[in-house]
Amino acid sequence: MVEHDDGGPAFPMPSGMEPRVNTTTHFNEGMSLRDWFAGMAMQSLLINPDYADEIDDAAAEEGVDIHDLASHLAFDLADAMLKARA
């Protein structure tokens, strides 16, 4: 499995005694910035009819599930956003 820079926590916040609190930073880590970016990208991909049609056509051509292809595209976009902000 390829390791990706996850961008750190998307919404870090000080927190009390919870299992997700990082004992070094004392922040509630929550979802990663990479996951947040991918979720936002997924919404954009699927709400735009042009992208949705292209993804559907590409999935059919490659013989893969449309949801798998869209998910991979969303994370590719998230990785590109993290790279751009580096």
How does pLDDT run across 40-52, given as a tens digit for each residue? 999 988 888 888 8
The reply to whether 64 falls in a domain is: yes
Owning domain of residue 79: 31-85
- pTM attached to this predicted model: 0.68
Total structural domains within the chain: 1
The reply to whether 71 falls in a domain is: yes
Confidence of residue 79 (pLDDT cuts 50, 70, 90): very high
Q: What is the mean pLDDT of residues 6-35?
A: 69
The reply to whether 67 falls in a domain is: yes
The reply to whether 35 falls in a domain is: yes
The reply to whether 3 falls in a domain is: no
| Encoded tokens for 26 | 């004392």
Residue 64 has pLDDT above 90, yes or no: no
The reply to whether 1 falls in a domain is: no
The reply to whether 2 falls in a domain is: no
The reply to whether 6 falls in a domain is: no
SS3 content of the chain, % helix, strand, coil (to 5): 55, 10, 35
Mean model confidence pLDDT for the chain: 81
DSSP track, 22-52: -TTT-EE--SBHHHHHHHHHHHHHHHSHHHH
